[in-house]
Amino acid sequence: MSKADTSKQVRRAHYKRITLWCIAIIVLGAMVLPMGSYVYTGIQEAQAQSVKDTNPRANYWRAVRDGQGGYSAVTGKSMDGEVVNTETSMLINNGGQNWRQIRNGLIANYGGWFLFLVLIAILLFFAKVGRVPIAHGVSGQKVQRWNALDRFVHWITAISFIVLAISGLSLLFGRAVLIPLLGYPGFAAWAGLAKGLHNFVGPWLFTPGVALMIILWIRHNIPNAEDLQWFAKGGGMVGHDHPHAGFANAGEKVWFWFICTVGVAAIISGFFMDFPTWWSGSREGMQIANVVHAITSLLWIALWFGHAYIGTIGTEGALEGMTSGRVDVNWAKQHHDRWYEELQAKSRGHGGEATTEVKGQPA
């Protein structure tokens, strides 16, 4: 072997060793270097713990936020009016921050998705089932269902509810939805108007309307055994079998009693926030009222979506009852047959014909 060949072999072996060492260093680095982040993190945590243990200002503010009572010359009033030192004896109260996290976190996030999913479910149901028609077509004969007072109370309350829903949702979701669209000045102007509308319409228009609805319609909404059969048959919204129902079917009764319970809770909690001086409201009480009001109102809006759908595009002939006060005879027989039978029995009992109208004229 010549001297030149020997020199080439030596160089190749040298390059091979260099390559192997580079590969080994890369593999070792890939394994060791990530572990360095854990070491660095541990050092940072140790330093933070050291500062936490030795920083007197941090220790002071932790003690302040522990909620321990102290002495304060400022006095507050308890629920029975007795002058006491309650939350006024604390330098910082964590209740406000806890309330803010619940309202802006849990309620605003999950509440928004809840309403969105309810709307999607209604749209999918409509796409699948479509509008429930009057099975035997429009007869041209009508019966009186709602009088003028009923319709007035319903529409005042319904319009007030829509105003409250729009203004309330604007205040709840404004930060996430409206500020990007309107900007801060635009949202501030709208939020001021929405708050004023909400605080006026709620106690002075909507609440009296709900109270009148309960008084006027409670006699129609007493549960009975046929309500279970109505639910078992899907309320006539699916299939071709229409269950028996009186003046109010089981679904309408659920809506009515929901208003009487959850709806009334929303109204009462709203009053607590609108008029805190009437009940010597504490900060904690206002925070609880706000959470209750937000949750019950979101549930009310979600159920109203279904109520509005069924009463308008979901069922042929339903809206006519609340606009003109009269409904088609075939609609009454299909959806409220027991009530229609009662009308006919009363009419015959008075020696008259069926209580119907043809094209607006007595039959």
Does residue 69 or residue 250 have the better pLDDT? 250
> Helices (DSSP H) in the chain: which residue ranges?
3-54, 56-64, 95-101, 108-129, 148-173, 179-201, 207-217, 226-232, 250-258, 264-274, 283-311, 318-323, 329-335, 337-349
Q: Are 146 and 325 in contact (CB under 8 A)?
A: yes
Q: Which domains does the chain have, with CATH numbers?
A: 97-146+221-362 (1.20.950.20)
Sign of CA dihedral 112, 114, 118, 121: positive
Environment class of residue 257 by beta-carbon count within 10 Å: exposed (0-12), middle (13-18) or buried (19+)? middle
Contact 298, 114 (CB under 8 A): yes
Dump pLDDT digits (tens) for 252-297: 999 999 999 999 999 999 999 999 888 766 788 899 999 999 999 9
Q: What is the DSSP letter of 314?
A: S
Report the candidate in 285, 235, 292 with the shortest Cα–Cα distance to residue 263. 292
Give residue-wise pLDDT tens across range 180-208. Answer: 999 999 999 999 999 999 999 999 999 99
3-state secondary structure of 77: strand
What is 173-221 written as a DSSP string? HIIIIIHHHHHHHHHHHHHHHHHHHHHHHIIIIIHHHHHHHHHHHGGG-
User: What pLDDT is stored for residue 38 in this prediction?
Assistant: 42
What does residue 82 show for φ and ψ, rounded to 5 degrees?
-70, 135
DSSP secondary structure code for residue 242 in this structure: P
The two three-digit tokens of residue 24, written as one number: 């080994």
Amino acid in the structure at residue 166: I
pLDDT per residue as tens digits for the range 103-162: 988 999 999 999 999 999 999 999 999 999 999 999 999 999 999 999 999 999 999 999
Widest CA span in the chain: 136
Higher pLDDT, 5 or 339: 339
Phi, psi of 351 (to 5 degrees): 80, 15
Give me the chain's average pLDDT, please.
82
| pLDDT category of residue 72 using cuts at 50, 70 and 90 | low
